[in-house]
Structure 1
Amino acid sequence: MAVGADFLRRYEQAQIAAGRGGGDSALRHLTSWKRFVEACAEGYDDVISEYFEDLRVRDAIECGLAEKSLRELAGYEEFSRAVQAVDARFREIATVVGSG
């Protein structure tokens, strides 16, 4: 995935502004989100409190996606599409179909 340096820098700045600390890169967040969803697909085997903690990476991603100043930067659309693909997989495996 080709994501521009400006996008990566501004994404990290958005994370800092949101109080999430430094060093939070868009690519690291996307990788963590993918790994979490893969773990869920294989049968998440941790406690519920850890599950909710693991979901926090998606909240961080949303913080970046919601930052209006990022939307015009090179890589935003590609990053957004990659996140949407992982989200779709998560919804597929996390949706419980009712019996009635």
Structure 2
Amino acid sequence: MSDFNAYVQALVPAYPGTGRLRDPDSLLWQYAAVITNVADGYDDNLAEYFNDLSCRDFIELVLRDPKASEHAPFRDFHDAVSALDRRFKTFLAPQPVAPGNRWWTTHLPLRAGANLRHDMQAIFGYGAQPAEE
């Protein structure tokens, strides 16, 4: 295991209920899965959507940690996150819709399944396009 992996595992909380540690690869994989679900028309409720997006919060924790950047693999991690962020932004509203200070939670999906569309409309007055069924 690399020093960077160990550092991230110590920095980021383990998966709840399992104690399984998160590492850079698992954070990237989880974030990519969320993006794919949003691209496909995420159809769970808003609470689950924000819960799924918590992986991006953990990624940000790593990106902003000054000691994390001292590890050689940090640059590759940073570049991978940047590429995923660019992809994710293509599926989100260009203007903030929800309150907050993290772009990944304030810019909601352009398309969504019925459950997420309903919650976003009821809570934020935001009407995403229906996902293709």
Residues 29-48 of structure 1: CA deviation (Å, up to 9, x unaligned): 11000010011001101111
Distance in 2 (alpha carbons) for counterparts of 1:14 and 1:68: 12
Matched length = 90
Distance in 1 (alpha carbons) for counterparts of 2:57 and 2:24: 12
| Alignment partner, residue 24 of structure 2 | 26
The structure 1 segments of at least 4 consecutive aligned residues displaced by more than 2 Å after TM superposition are none
Q: Percent identity?
A: 31
Distance in 2 (alpha carbons) for counterparts of 1:45 and 1:76: 33
> Whose Rg is larger?
2
> How far apart are residue 95 of structure 1 and its match?
2.3
CA RMSD of aligned residues (A): 1.5
Matches within 5 A, 1:14-93: 14-15=11-12, 20-21=13-14, 23-93=21-91
> How far apart are residue 10 of structure 1 and its match?
0.7
Larger RCO: Structure 1 or Structure 2 (Cα < 8 Å, ≥ 6 residues apart)?
1
> How far apart are residue 67 of structure 1 and its match?
1.1
For structure 1, the residue ranges without an aligned partner over 5 or more in a row are none
Distance in 2 (alpha carbons) for counterparts of 1:96 and 1:62: 21
For structure 2, the residue ranges without an aligned partner over 5 or more in a row are 96-133
Instruction: Give the number of the structure whose residues are more often helix, by fraction.
Output: 1
Provide the TM-score with structure 1 as the length reference: 0.83
